[in-house]
Structure 1
Amino acid sequence: MFYCGLYFILLFGIVFMPIDARVYRKPLEDNGKIPICGYQSCPKIDPKKLNVHLVAHTHDDVGWLKTVDQYFYGSRTNIQNAGVEYIIDSVIQALKRNPARKFIYVETAFLWKWWQRQDENTREDVRLLINEGRLEIIGGAWSMNDEATTHYNSIVDQFTWGFRLLNDTFGECARPKIGWQIDPFGHSREQASLFAQFGFDGMFLGRLDHEDKAQRLINKTTEFIWKSSSSLGKKADLFSVVLFNTYSPPPGFCFDILCSDEPMIDDPESPDNNIDVKIKIFYDYLEQQSQHYQTNNIILTMGNDFTYQQAEMHLMNLDKVIRYTNELYGSQVNVFYSTPSCYVKSVNDAQISLNTKSDDFFPYSSDPHAFWTGYFTSRPALKLFERMGNNLLQIVKQLSVSSNIMDSEDLIQFREAMGVMQHHDAVTGTEKQHVADDYARLLHKSMVKGENIAAKAIGKKMIEKNNTVKVIPKLESCFLLNTSSCIISETEKAFMTVIYNPTSQLLSKYIRVPVTGNDYIVKNSVGDKIITQLVPIPEAILQLPGRVSEATRELVFHAVNIPALGYETFYISDTTSEESMKNKIILPSRASSIANKSYNITVNSNGDVVIKSKKHDVNIVQSFQYYEGTKGNNTGWTNRASGAYIFRPKESIVHNLAFTGNYKIFQGPLVDEIHLTINQFVSQIVRLYFGEDKIEFEWLIGPIPIEDSIGREVVTKYSSNLSSDRTFYTDSNAREMLKRVRDYRPTWNVTLKEKIAGNYYPVTAKIYLEDKIKQLRLSVLNDRAQGGTSMIDGQLELMLHRRLLNDDAFGVGEALNEKAFGKGLVVRGTHYLIASDLNDITSAELLEKSLTVQLALRPWIFFSAIPNISFNQLPNLYQLQTSSLRKKLPPQVHILTYEPWKDGKVLLRLEHLFEVGQAGALSAPVEVDITDLFNDFNIVSLRETTLGANQWIESMSRLEWHSRDNNDENNEVNNQTEQVKIEGNTINVLLKPMEIRTFVLTISKRT
């Protein structure tokens, strides 16, 4: 809805006004009339007939079998005949030829790439088609994101960027109203919640468990209200539709050049005239589909992957389908071109009562032996790389604001690269290898440019209060810290590390820097010499394929109280002498265990890590095993192979790894470590840091051997003496937690032919189980998306790495057999293990939430060589510590977004981290005074938008729905959002549990 009024609120004598109306303009047609789009452009429904909404669409993967560019330009036809620029060109011309035609488009990444290459005449054609509602933008994100392995921060980002370009380019008529998630391999509850918060009126699902779908078709529950958040209540409810035929047309009615179905031949003189026969088949199909939906409306998806490269050919045949069906069966049916939003509006107008759903659609199985749970872990290195990309992107955006470096082309490209990575064949690991390589190339290129922005921004801040220093310090990142490599720390005798904290709270973090020397001094920003420890780098890491480094040890120090949205500088000097080099080798301890105030840890004869909690009655054994992947030939359900998509172990048992290695213990003032080698391809470091109540497992897997022609899927298990009653919990896109029960689905009686794969769920950030009798919890936090389960009470299992030798026949055409540097891929990653007391749930949840945030938004370390500068000179040269925040935020409040917006403005998102009842007092609503929250600027005015920042919050008007559960009156939690309260000299923002509030700030820089 367009907001045409002004509101004025006096604060400090400043008038608060809406931001530039051009941002949310409604473009006018040449005749000056308001365009007719959206629901106003929908075809008329006949209440006495079956109304058939034909939706012409194309599903254009942003990379899959071909790279993004190969898909756009249409190259590599030997792989797939697909060219997106031809599709959009062709569709625009075909729509112009017949004003009755409609078409929808989804992927903004491709639309924008095409748009930038068009002349003004073509652009005017597109604007007119959008304003008339004949070309409707659905979804609107940069890509159609996966829902299992994506982090909500990245989902919100990539929708926001797609929305912004659509809004700025086409105005209100291009604002999406519908979620179009037709191809992701299962659907998350958090995705539905985000869609509702975007202001969407509904979403369409293509893939759900075959048993679930069959039951819904029988019971006519293919349309329902998804209650996607018990914390947000009705404002997160979303009307949802299960498509009848995934997203394909009826059999026999694909008229694309990629199809072989017979065209509609209506020449009365031709012996090939097939109108009567084809239309009868079509009519029978309509009757069949209509039996499974509640109203006299059905939707037909007339398109498929990369269809409409010759749109006139396709649409001409659809014209005939519409014409002749209405002529021959017009007394019973009304067939017309439509859009998903028009279909939603028609169902809404019918005022029916709908069933509800409050869980999610994982795991997805397309047949009894094909559970799409392997991709939860596939390509684990790429999954971590994507998470690192989001980590750095948030830092770049934050520092761009704080240093007044507003939108740059490099930042835009970084946003877009991360948008590509969210695609359901990117972060999922379900693409061809050369496409995965291209995704990594795109992301690396953008991260390097983004890192340059961040380094310059910090450098600028370091000298902004020093009038005598004009040269910005040269800061660099070490992108190979995951291989314990960093050129500066290995080669320089003196250097400084500037550690940036992207979280909203003070952060204390143990920092590890790869070095070659034997003696180091570390000083913090005020000159205090801090405690350090040197720990050897394990042999398995020293021998990593492709590693080029002289570092043999890591320097550990504790960076305490790094400011929120700020940095702290540490001075490091190598004081190694000839005498100390004689003692270069760090000898392991003779101790048989490591311990701190919370845990005692040993290794048993099997190579398992044995953990005894000192605080609670819980014993834990951590171990590694593997499943042997089924080699099937995919000729039938029972012959399905384990592959990039599918997890299908050969047997319902896990294979133990023979312990052929050894372990060493290293102890010191900061950290005790067990360096454990299981065998030639599995090893890990188990750490207890001083003063921390968690156990860190840093695992290293690979190269997984295949010489015996066995594909292996390596897992780690945390087995305890807790009784969990078949129940465990996993996160939804790193946000709300969902209850899982082994061998059970909340909405139907499941039959599992694949016991293990059918109990696997996506774990984006956290998995835990609880013992209700002992009031204890066991939690594992992970650093990237993985598949996880609890197959035995008291046990948590996470899949770490997969190397398989057969394709699973769902389109990729390649086995998941990743290599790097000529060898099988080696992956390094982190788990945090925590045992908590449920009687102190506030402390437990706060610790776990803090660590979850820190794993997603890790402190970023910048290095700078300073060979001729002593520490005493640094404070005179640089500002060694600063923060963008003037005051501390409550612990349950997180700044999700802090980024440059349009016209010098800032986009700010504040979120409440906890669910209703999750964390005691921390789950209560909280009010935040943001008047003087930021050091970087004064807030001149602010205005709230929807979550996607493409509509004013007060203009959002969603369709109302009726559910059958009669709990609507009890579902009003958080339904009414309080306005920003401006009283006297304060601006207070109220955040309710799980609420995210988005603001556009007009600012003035502080002097």
Structure 2
Amino acid sequence: MEGFRLVPLVTLVAFLLLCCRSSSARPEASTCGYNACPKPVPGRVNVHLVPHTHDDVGWLMTVDQYYYYQVQFILDTVVEELLINPDRKFTYVEIAYFFRWWREQSADKQAKVKQLVQNGQLQFAQGGWSMDDEAATHYVDIIDQHTQGLRFLNDTFGDCGRPRVAWQVDPFGHSKEHAAMMALMGYDGLYFGRIDYQDQAIRRKTRRMEMVWQASQDIGSPQTDLFSGKLYDGYGQPGGFSFETGDQPVQDDPQLYDFNVEQKVKQFVDMVNTRRQVYSSDHLMLTMGNDFQYQNARKNFKIFDKLIKAVNNRTAAHNVTVYYSTPSCYTKSVHDQNLVWTVKSDDFYPYGFDAHSFLTGFFTSRAALKRYVRTASNQFQAVKQTACLAGLQRDGAEPDARIDPLRQALGVVQHHDGVSGTERQLVAYDYALRISNGIDRAYPVLQSALANLTGDSAAYSGMSTCGLANISYCPFTDSNTDFYLHFYNPVSHPVWHLARIPVTGRYYVVSDEHGQAVMSQTIPVNNGTLRVPERAGAKSTCELVFNVSAIPAMGFAVYRVAAAAPGSPGVSTFTPIRLLFGGYGRGKISASKTKADWLSQHTGCGVPSMAYYYGYPGNNSRAEFRASGAYVLRPTRQTPEQFSLEQIAGVFGPVVNETHLLWSDWAYQVLRKFSNNGDSLQYNENELTVGPIPYDANTGREVIVRYDSQLSSSATFYTDANGRQVMRRVRDYRPSWPLQQTEKVAGNYYPVPSQIFINQSDGASFTVLTDRSEGGSSINDGQIEIMLHRITARDDALGLGEALQEKGSDGRGLVVKVTHWFAADQSLSSASRRRRELANRRYREPLIGYLTAEPKVKRWSGLRRPLPENVQVVTLDDWRGPNTKLLRLEHLYQTGEHPALSQPVTVALGQMFATFDILGAMELSLAANQYLASMQRLQWRTTAAGGSADQNAAREAVERRQLDQNLTVTLRPMQLRTFVVQVQYL
């Protein structure tokens, strides 16, 4: 692209348009989208009959098993039936399956399917790789998996393949941040099948089953307003009309026995009249499908044709008209009635479907998988970043082919029976295997990128990783005593990192990138870690701990580690674990004031204590006998069982002081207080090793940690939503209705994807940051409680069919190692800064590479200068062609969190990155499948006071001019902006 800077702007814009269009998409017809919708009949009850299937991408079987046992036949037969009758319509959702099926079709079949899409007969809803969970997912993964699915639809079908509505009909509760992102992706509506039973009862009585969700007060209306509807009774067919599962079909031949047209019409009209009483418009959506249905699409459509004909032939008698439709057509019809809607500004957590069945256990279920997803996601972002910075696609290295297996594995596991932990054990193994294989395929891309960036293939071709370093197992360091550590920082600012490296000796010299010795400390591998069965074969006896200072933004620093003799200059300090209180054979430790004072002195707060609930082993015959299971949290007692502390041990050194607490032979805790390393964001660390949890046939255990801050928190605490917005929680309270609390613990648990905190009226705050999504609460004032690991004695009878009993590699039970960061602040603004910055670091932890050869370049940044502290590069990915990239930026703060960092901030794109210039940019929707300037969402009238829409529209116009004229971008609090950029490598 030599001379690109001289190209006129008009030509540049045309080029970018070309880059973003799909070369495979056919010319658009005018009959798709809303133009393909049936015309409503004024003055009548318009019934939208919506054929669909719900295809879990893993649950009771693996994603591939479901595909070859069931899903391929669904798509085969549905397509054939749509081709028979142009009035028929069908809605499909899970693109992970459609992608598999599409690859197998002949060119002729693909052409026919494209015509069905162009006709509006085959429509897609949501369009993500999976129908994701909303509690345990991180916003980066949500965006990525939707971008992946929607890109495939755009590449394959053009704009006719673009879903108009989000379809979250099966997740177990709904997140406000997720809804905000759906709005920013351009959806006109959102439909879900599950809300709390008390909430639903009130909404039915008041005809508020549909509303406008104001999903972000920071970004504002109408950008994050989303029309949202609760389906009448889940996403299945109405009772009596599930023809695939044996309900009586329409028999319209009078020459045969059992002629039942009048009976079925009356049954249908009665059902419609009952359902429409809880909705406000003249339209009613009937979902006609369920899990993995339409394997015999012929049966369904043939009976539907008869039912539609019979009902419509008798419209004069009952004023009901029925026709094939889709969720998007229903949305447009309701919109066109121009009604005024109530608004919602909170979320739909926790979700209870009866008085004793709160689906809050899954916030923690399969804690190890939840952590694996989080670490794999971080690695995925780092690989994409470095591949773009190195220009691997430009050099013909085809990084996408090697990255795609990890992209697809992460897309699948975001499923609401994936990272949620509500799948069967064999399926959990399959998810983990896919992620592992994806990482193995993607890691050479990271090696190639670093080799290209530094001109040093000799060093990086042999770079290794240690995926089990958290349990002090690293084959590389088992066999090497003189090596280099490569720390890659995905954050857009320099970060400080406390490295903890498994080693086989006690004495090492650590040197920074300038060859200067760094203060270091070796600590014996603790007893909690030594008992982890996956350590079998590990040779490491110690952990080498040191600070890595100011790793460059989106860059790296290289340190050297070399074994040395005791007393050598700069050698590490060996600090044994010293027994302080208790001991085997001495009995339990009493709760004496002396020991409590000692713990407070050495941890900086009251000791976080471990405890557990016994899970209720019910038989599920009635609500009051609901068992605790993979979905449901239901403790037998509402107060946890306390461990008796058996040992306290200590480590005292120049880098970190540690307090080791042995609660039992399956519960071990290490509290760490770090020396001041120059980082302005200090914190303490709490490492908890849990398992194997004792199991008996009648009782499960739900293990927690409690932090006692001594703050007066007034029954109020705060949790994040998907790693972004903070949600205010009040114990035994719901903002949307007067709660009748029936489960003190389970009914107060909320998802904690990254942070939970409590405040006091004077501004004092206490925060805990998690390393994965967990369940948490504040059951008592001043306390934060987080669930770490759980097993159950029973299934909770919600379809899984097996108890949650992870056996681990040795069959004795899974051991989980969890790490929290916690800190106290005296002002809300300092607490907000600490929370936001550390949560960003927790997700984007430095990736550590292990090398035997000395790299030529020891320090490098992918940014010419760090971005402002409140801005983060969310995505840097290859897009269409070697010189076109996808770039996402975010503002990390909410309005009012910090006097300076919550202000709008402007960033210049042109010379942001070290290896290329950005020559032009066009803004896209959040999921990158529409140009923002042409995105026209349906607008809804609400009961809320207006006034911000015009102001926001004017502000967006200014932002577009900034981008067009000088490639600058202004980010307002919580704003996420997506661009396709044209680059020229330097």
The TM-score with structure 2 as length reference comes to 0.94
* Aligned equivalents of 1:326, 1:982: Cα separation in 2: 55
User: Does residue 951 of structure 1 match 2:930?
Assistant: yes
State the match for 2:586 in structure 1: none
CA offset at residue 12 of structure 1?
11
After superposition, residues 64-463 of structure 1 pair within 5 angstroms as 64-74=59-69, 83-234=70-221, 235-256=223-244, 259-330=245-316, 332-406=319-393, 407-463=399-455
Question: Residues 809 and 447 of structure 1: is their aligned pair in 2 closer, same or farther, counting only changes over 3 Å?
Answer: same
Amino acid at match of 2:907: V
Amino acid at match of 2:661: L
Which of 626, 637, 644 is the aligned partner of 1:658? 644
Amino acid at match of 2:63: V
Residues 233, 971 of structure 1: 8 Å contact kept? no
State the match for 1:4 in structure 2: none
State the match for 1:716 in structure 2: 705
* Aligned equivalents of 1:969, 1:584: Cα separation in 2: 60
- Percent identity over paired residues: 39
Amino acid at match of 1:123: Q
Residues 602, 659 of structure 2: 8 Å contact kept? no
- C-alpha distance after superposition, 1:440-494 (max 9, x if no partner): 1111110111222112222332326xxxx76754111101112111112222121
Residues 521, 574 of structure 2: 8 Å contact kept? no
Question: Residues 197 and 983 of structure 1: is their aligned pair in 2 closer, same or farther, counting only changes over 3 Å?
Answer: closer
* Aligned equivalents of 1:611, 1:222: Cα separation in 2: 55
* Aligned equivalents of 2:11, 2:473: Cα separation in 1: 52
Question: Residues 538 and 402 of structure 1: is their aligned pair in 2 closer, same or farther, counting only changes over 3 Å?
Answer: same
Residues 491, 841 of structure 2: 8 Å contact kept? yes
CA offset at residue 720 of structure 1?
2.5
Which of 896, 899, 910 is the aligned partner of 1:931? 910
* Aligned equivalents of 1:472, 1:348: Cα separation in 2: 57
Q: Secondary structure at the match of 1:546?
A: helix
CA offset at residue 706 of structure 1?
1.3
* Aligned equivalents of 2:246, 2:950: Cα separation in 1: 50
- C-alpha distance after superposition, 1:847-876 (max 9, x if no partner): 21111011111100000124xxxxxxx4xx
* Aligned equivalents of 1:609, 1:553: Cα separation in 2: 28
Q: Secondary structure at the match of 1:651?
A: coil
Residues 581, 648 of structure 2: 8 Å contact kept? no
Q: Secondary structure at the match of 2:822?
A: strand
Question: Residues 283 and 733 of structure 1: is their aligned pair in 2 closer, same or farther, counting only changes over 3 Å?
Answer: same
Amino acid at match of 2:248: E
Q: Secondary structure at the match of 2:533?
A: coil
State the match for 1:677 in structure 2: 662
- C-alpha distance after superposition, 1:2-42 (max 9, x if no partner): xxxxx99978999554425364359887xx77341111011
Residues 607, 678 of structure 1: 8 Å contact kept? no
State the match for 1:80 in structure 2: none
Which of 45, 50, 66 is the aligned partner of 2:45? 50
- The gaps in structure 1 that reach 5 residues or longer are 1-6, 75-82, 594-601, 867-873
State the match for 2:777 in structure 1: 789
State the match for 2:29 in structure 1: 34
Residues 980, 987 of structure 1: 8 Å contact kept? no
After superposition, residues 547-586 of structure 1 pair within 5 angstroms as 547=535, 548-576=537-565, 586=575
Question: Residues 15 and 320 of structure 1: is their aligned pair in 2 closer, same or farther, counting only changes over 3 Å?
Answer: closer
CA offset at residue 883 of structure 1?
1.2
Question: Residues 335 and 630 of structure 1: is their aligned pair in 2 closer, same or farther, counting only changes over 3 Å?
Answer: same
Residues 461, 879 of structure 1: 8 Å contact kept? no
Which of 463, 485, 496 is the aligned partner of 1:475? 463
Residues 611, 621 of structure 1: 8 Å contact kept? no
Q: Secondary structure at the match of 1:19?
A: helix
Amino acid at match of 2:938: L
Question: Residues 486 and 28 of structure 1: is their aligned pair in 2 closer, same or farther, counting only changes over 3 Å?
Answer: closer
- C-alpha distance after superposition, 1:696-751 (max 9, x if no partner): 00110000111474210011111222111111111011100011111111111111
CA offset at residue 671 of structure 1?
0.7
Question: Residues 708 and 286 of structure 1: is their aligned pair in 2 closer, same or farther, counting only changes over 3 Å?
Answer: closer
Question: Residues 925 and 813 of structure 1: is their aligned pair in 2 closer, same or farther, counting only changes over 3 Å?
Answer: same
* Aligned equivalents of 1:61, 1:160: Cα separation in 2: 19
Amino acid at match of 1:276: E
Amino acid at match of 1:786: E
Which of 921, 938, 941 is the aligned partner of 2:920? 941
* Aligned equivalents of 1:277, 1:968: Cα separation in 2: 52
The TM-score with structure 1 as length reference comes to 0.92
Residues 619, 721 of structure 1: 8 Å contact kept? no
Residues 671, 686 of structure 2: 8 Å contact kept? yes
Q: Secondary structure at the match of 2:346?
A: coil
Amino acid at match of 1:60: D
* Aligned equivalents of 1:759, 1:556: Cα separation in 2: 38
Residues 149, 428 of structure 1: 8 Å contact kept? yes
User: Does residue 892 of structure 1 match 2:880?
Assistant: no
* Aligned equivalents of 2:777, 2:950: Cα separation in 1: 30
State the match for 1:24 in structure 2: 21
Moved more, 670-679 or 419-428: 670-679
Q: Secondary structure at the match of 1:751?
A: coil
Question: Residues 165 and 27 of structure 1: is their aligned pair in 2 closer, same or farther, counting only changes over 3 Å?
Answer: closer
Question: Residues 353 and 861 of structure 1: is their aligned pair in 2 closer, same or farther, counting only changes over 3 Å?
Answer: same
State the match for 1:499 in structure 2: 487
Moved more, 370-379 or 320-329: 320-329
Question: Aligned pairs, how many?
Answer: 960
Q: Secondary structure at the match of 1:232?
A: coil
Amino acid at match of 1:550: K
- C-alpha distance after superposition, 1:794-817 (max 9, x if no partner): 111000010111000001100001
After superposition, residues 894-909 of structure 1 pair within 5 angstroms as 894-904=872-882, 905-909=884-888
Question: Residues 917 and 577 of structure 1: is their aligned pair in 2 closer, same or farther, counting only changes over 3 Å?
Answer: closer
User: Does residue 61 of structure 1 match 2:62?
Assistant: no
Q: Secondary structure at the match of 2:477?
A: helix
User: Does residue 920 of structure 1 match 2:899?
Assistant: yes
Q: Secondary structure at the match of 1:129?
A: helix
CA offset at residue 587 of structure 1?
3.1
* Aligned equivalents of 2:215, 2:76: Cα separation in 1: 38
Question: Residues 193 and 982 of structure 1: is their aligned pair in 2 closer, same or farther, counting only changes over 3 Å?
Answer: closer
After superposition, residues 956-975 of structure 1 pair within 5 angstroms as 956-969=935-948
Amino acid at match of 2:445: I
Amino acid at match of 1:680: D
* Aligned equivalents of 1:132, 1:588: Cα separation in 2: 71
Q: Secondary structure at the match of 2:111?
A: helix
Q: Secondary structure at the match of 2:881?
A: helix
Question: Residues 269 and 433 of structure 1: is their aligned pair in 2 closer, same or farther, counting only changes over 3 Å?
Answer: same
Residues 32, 119 of structure 2: 8 Å contact kept? yes
Question: Residues 13 and 64 of structure 1: is their aligned pair in 2 closer, same or farther, counting only changes over 3 Å?
Answer: closer
